[in-house]
C-alpha cells in the first residue's frame, strides 16, 4: 500500500507553502521539512531563512536535492512536506545537462538542431529519473507526503529551448504526481480549491435493521450504560464536547493521594482545586476525531503506561466514538 499523498499547486505567491505547512502541522506533531533546493544566491538564501523561521522547533529539516527515498527510516509515521517539486526537477535537469547554474544557461543561445535534440533527450532522461524516484519515495505505506509544486505553464512562453523543455517536463511531472495523489489543492490568491479529493470507499451496503432490531439494540445499549463499573484507583476520565470549537475534550482526573491526604499528580504534587471544589485535571486532551483522541492518550501521553488501564482503553474507545458521532451530527452528548 503506497503512502498518502497530497499535492498543493499554484502560481507564485499564491499561498502554496503556507497552506502546505499548515496542513502538515495539523495532522502531525513532529513533521519533516524536506528541502529539495540548492541555495544559489543571497535572495534565495533569504527566502530559505524566512521559511525556516516560520517553522517551529517541532519540525525536522532534511536537505536532499536528488534522492529523498534514501531517508525513509526518518519518514515512518510522520508527515513530510516536500517543498518543492519544481526545484527538485531543476536538480535533475542540471544533472542531465539541460542547463547549468542560474545565469549560465548554455542552451539559451543555442538554436541549432543538434543542441535542440540534445536538450530534448536530456530533459526526457531527467523526467523519467525523477518520476522513478518519486514512485520509490511514495511506496512507503506508513508516511504522509505533502508536495508543493508550481503551475509554471500558466506564465509566459519560454525564450530558450531549455526553458520550454523545462516547462513541459514540469507539467508532465505535475500530472504524474497528481495522478498518484489522494488529494490535489489548487491555490489562487491564498484560497484553496480542492480539484481532486479522496475517492469514496466502496463497500457492500449493509442490510438496514428493522424496527424490532433497532429497539433491541436501544435496550441493550441502555442496559450496558447502566451497569456498575469499578473505578480505577489511580484516576478517571471525563469526556465533553465543544461544539463551538468542533473538538472532543477528555480530561484525566487523579485519585492518587499523597502522604498529606491531598489529591496529587503522579509525582506527588498537590493538584489545585477549581470552582466546584474538584481538583484540576492532571491532563487534558483535545482532538477533532475519536482516532486522534485515542492516539493522544494511549500513544503520545508519557504517563499512559503508568496510569491507563485496559478498562480505561476500552471505555475511552467506546466514548470517543460516541462523542465523535454526536459532534459530527451536532447532537447532545452524554457520557456513560
Q: Hey, what's the cell of 218?
A: 436501544
Catalytic annotation, pick one of 51, 176, 253, 303:
51
Is 155 strand, coil or helix?
A: coil
> What is the residue-wise DSSP string for 25-50?
HHH-SS-EEEE-----SHHHHHHHHH
ω into residue 84 within 30 of 0, thus cis? yes
Instruction: Output phi, psi for 55, to 5 deg.
Output: -90, 140
Confirm whether 51 is a catalytic residue: yes
In whole angstroms, what is the distance from residue 301 CA to residue 238 CA?
Answer: 16
CB 150 within 8 A of CB 84: yes
CB 127 within 8 A of CB 172: yes
Among candidates 163, 159, 160, which has minimal Cα distance to 123?
Answer: 163
Based on the number of CB atoms within 10 Å of its own CB, is 198 exposed (0-12), middle (13-18) or buried (19 or more)?
exposed
Residues marked active site are found at 51
Amino acid at each position: 500500500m503506497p503512502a498518502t499523498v497530497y499535492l498543493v499547486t499554484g502560481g507564485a505567491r499564491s499561498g502554496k507553502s503556507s497552506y502546505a505547512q499548515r496542513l502538515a502541522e495539523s495532522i502531525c506533531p513532529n513533521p519533516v521539512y524536506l528541502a529539495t533546493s540548492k541555495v544559489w544566491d543571497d535572495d534565495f538564501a533569504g527566502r530559505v531563512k524566512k521559511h525556516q523561521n516560520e517553522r517551529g522547533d517541532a519540525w525536522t529539516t532534511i536537505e536532499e536535492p536528488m534522492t529523498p527515498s534514501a531517508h525513509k527510516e526518518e519518514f515512518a509515521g510522520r508527515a513530510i512536506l516536500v517543498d518543492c517539486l519544481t526545484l527538485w526537477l531543476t536538480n535533475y535537469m542540471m544533472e542531465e545537462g539541460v542547463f547549468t547554474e542560474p545565469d549560465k544557461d548554455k542552451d539559451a543561445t543555442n538554436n541549432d538542431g543538434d543542441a535542440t535534440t540534445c536538450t530534448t533527450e536530456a530533459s526526457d532522461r531527467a523526467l523519467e529519473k525523477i518520476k522513478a524516484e518519486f514512485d520509490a519515495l511514495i511506496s512507503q505505506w506508513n508516511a504522509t507526503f505533502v508536495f508543493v509544486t508550481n503551475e509554471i505553464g500558466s506564465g509566459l512562453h519560454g525564450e530558450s529551448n531549455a526553458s520550454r523543455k523545462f516547462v513541459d517536463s514540469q507539467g508532465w511531472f505535475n500530472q504524474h504526481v497528481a495522478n498518484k495523489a489522494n488529494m490535489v489543492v489548487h491555490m489562487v490568491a491564498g484560497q484553496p480549491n480542492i480539484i481532486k479529493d479522496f475517492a469514496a470507499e466502496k463497500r457492500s451496503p449493509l442490510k438496514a435493521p428493522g424496527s424490532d432490531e433497532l429497539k433491541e439494540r436501544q435496550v441493550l445499549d441502555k442496559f450496558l450504560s447502566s451497569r456498575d463499573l469499578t473505578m480505577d484507583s489511580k484516576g478517571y476520565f471525563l469526556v465533553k464536547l465543544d461544539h463551538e470549537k468542533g473538538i472532543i475534550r477528555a480530561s484525566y482526573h487523579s485519585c492518587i493521594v499523597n502522604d498529606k491526604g491531598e489529591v496529587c499528580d503522579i509525582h506527588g504534587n498537590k493538584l489545585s482545586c477549581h470552582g466546584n471544589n474538584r481538583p484540576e485535571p492532571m491532563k487534558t486532551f483535545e482532538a477533532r476525531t475519536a482516532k486522534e483522541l485515542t492516539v493522544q492518550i494511549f500513544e503520545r501521553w508519557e504517563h499512559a503506561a503508568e496510569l491507563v488501564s485496559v478498562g480505561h482503553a476500552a471505555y475511552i474507545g467506546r466514548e470517543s466514538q460516541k462523542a465523535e458521532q454526536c459532534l459530527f451530527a451536532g447532537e447532545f452528548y452524554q457520557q456513560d
